Amino acid sequence: MQEIKENWEKIKEYIKTEYELNSVSYNTWILPLDFYKIEENTVFILIPSDNPQAFNYINKKYKHFFKEAISVLFNDSFDIEFVLDNSKEDNEEYVDITQSINYKNANLNPKYKFETFVIGSNNKLAHSAALAVAESPGEIYNPLYIYGGAGLGKTHLMHSIGHFTLESKPDTNVIYVTSEDFTNDVIESIRSGNQSTITKMRDKYRNADVLMVDDIQFIIGKDATQEEFFNTFNTLHLAGKQIILSSDKPPKELETLDARFKSRFAMGLIVDIQAPDYETRMAILRQLAENNAKKIDDDIIKYIAENVKSNIRELEGAFNQIINISRIENTDHITLDTAEKALKNIINQNQNELITPDYILNVVCEEFGVSPEDMRSSRRNQEIVTPRHIFMYLCRQIIDMTYEDIAKYLMKKDHTTVIHGYKRVKEDLLKDPEYANRINNIKVKISPQN
């Protein structure tokens, strides 16, 4: 089909307008693609890059655009295959870059990538900004500030930037850090009173090419940490290094945020992520279903999408709950009835008694990055003691568990440790508004209606 080759640019233009691609996505992904050849019923398209990451991304996101565009414009149906420009038959020297030092230091969750991030109207802008920054760190939006409620994909996007950057430029020094870890690092090095420890901590962050700090609302108001962060920010920004921040609110609503920060954050781009609409929820659920061995009917997916609306973490929770139930019931066919039963806890969250200790435990574990085994262990380091105490507190507060039952659940012989933990949290809440805010966020996550 000579026609396709001759009208190649027109096809790309059509995709741009028809799918409302913004110019960053278009210029990055579609524009560089060249027509290669047609064989049988397949159009081969050349990706002028030797980057497998780009290949995966384009293949996943844009294949059906080309398919549709060609079928509309030429009234003929073709399959689409992408080919990497350097694709040799024997691509023997494959290196697993995820094993590199830089990759390991970056601290990234392998599941949080652009390829698995579903784009919807709620996150479109944040997604393109993240992609643009990942393509050319330090050059376009600096800092990039992403804000939005819990479970809407901020962390997922940040990690995606990290993966993308490292896969395309493996020698980039990417650092992802939660505000909590950053705070601990700063406090511990200061507490050590040892100048070389402090210098080491500073070097670590100030040598980053891409620094991502997640949930910065937890840094604000902590004097020493905020100061350290401010200096790190300035050093990196001056050197043209990329900074990416996330928070639950826009800078102007972070009340105790130093005015110095507000002006600096405004130098870059501030984007938000909203709660997902119905279509986006459906798309996310379909992706989960695709990656699951069990077949899940569309009416079940619709049922979840109609009932679980607040955020994506809950959407995933609901989905997993159904899979678990079907596993327990040992059935391959999940009926709507099973799904309804499985989701009762999650959907009717104003009925307190339906929130289980397992559920609370999972939310707390996820929040603090510890495992349920850690929580039940006898380990006494602060990283585990804090979430353990918070778990005890929330079990009392949200589902009225007795101290004895909480102790039993955590496999502790003596329930006085639970009393102690509960009291400890209650006292700290009064002393530390930042901490109170954090606990409250966790509470909302567990039980949005309360």
- The Cα–Cα gap between 162 and 175 comes to 8
Segment near Mg ion (CB under 5 A); pick from 1-9, 147-155, 227-235, 308-316:
147-155
Question: What are the CA-CA distances from residue 23 to residues 28, 68, 113, 177, 450 (Å)?
Answer: 8, 20, 21, 31, 43
**Nearest Cα to 116, choosing from 55, 64, 57, 183?**
57
Q: How many residues bind ligand ADP (CB under 6 A)?
A: 17
168 strand-pairing partners: none
Least distance to ligand ADP, CB of residue 181, Å: 15
- The Cα–Cα gap between 216 and 86 comes to 42
Does position 118 interact with ligand ADP (CB under 6 A)? The reply is yes
Q: Which is nearer to ligand ADP, 118 or 296 (CB)?
A: 118
Least distance to ligand ADP, CB of residue 118, Å: 4
Instruction: Show the tokens assigned to 212.
Output: 């991502």
Q: How many residues bind Mg ion (CB under 5 A)?
A: 2
Q: φ and ψ at 393, to 5 degrees?
A: -60, -45
Least distance to Mg ion, CB of residue 151, Å: 8
Member of 150, 208, 244, 254 binding ligand ADP (CB under 6 A): 150
Q: In 118-275, which ranges are E strands?
A: 144-147, 174-178, 210-214, 242-247, 269-272
Q: Which is nearer to ligand ADP, 118 or 300 (CB)?
A: 118
The residue with its CB nearest to ligand ADP is: 153
Does position 309 interact with ligand ADP (CB under 6 A)? The reply is no
Q: Which is nearer to Mg ion, 34 or 316 (CB)?
A: 316
Least distance to ligand ADP, CB of residue 366, Å: 8
Does position 155 interact with Mg ion (CB under 5 A)? The reply is yes
Segment near Mg ion (CB under 5 A); pick from 91-99, 152-160, 195-203, 309-317:
152-160
Q: Which is nearer to ligand ADP, 189 or 217 (CB)?
A: 217
Based on its alpha-carbon atoms, the radius of gyration of the chain, rounded to whole angstroms, reads 25
| CB atoms inside a 10 Å sphere around CB 291 | 8
Using CB atoms within 10 Å of the CB of residue 33, give its burial: 0 to 12 exposed, 13 to 18 middle, 19+ buried.
buried
Does position 151 interact with ligand ADP (CB under 6 A)? The reply is yes
Residue 112, contacted partner among ligand ADP, Mg ion, none, CB below 5-8 A by kind = ligand ADP
Name the CA dihedral angle for 285, 289, 290, 295, rounded to a multiple of 10 degrees.
Answer: -150
Does position 316 interact with ligand ADP (CB under 6 A)? The reply is yes
Segment near ligand ADP (CB under 6 A); pick from 76-84, 115-123, 264-272, 337-345:
115-123
Q: Which is nearer to ligand ADP, 281 or 396 (CB)?
A: 281
Q: What's the number of CA atoms in the CB half-sphere (13 Å) around residue 284?
A: 31
Strand, helix or coil for residue 235: helix
Place of tokens 């599941």: 111
Residues between 279 and 298 with contacts to ligand ADP, criterion CB under 6 A: 284
Member of 312, 318, 355, 360 binding ligand ADP (CB under 6 A): 312
Does position 317 interact with ligand ADP (CB under 6 A)? The reply is no
The two counts, helices (H) then strands (E), for the chain are 21, 8
Member of 137, 153, 251, 268 binding ligand ADP (CB under 6 A): 153
- The Cα–Cα gap between 345 and 322 comes to 11
Residue 184, contacted partner among ligand ADP, Mg ion, none, CB below 5-8 A by kind = none
Segment near ligand ADP (CB under 6 A); pick from 18-26, 195-203, 309-317, 336-344:
309-317
**Nearest Cα to 173, choosing from 142, 144, 198, 204?**
204
Residues found near ligand ADP in the complex (CB under 6 A) = 112, 116-118, 123, 148, 150-156, 284, 312-313, 316
Residues found near Mg ion in the complex (CB under 5 A) = 154-155
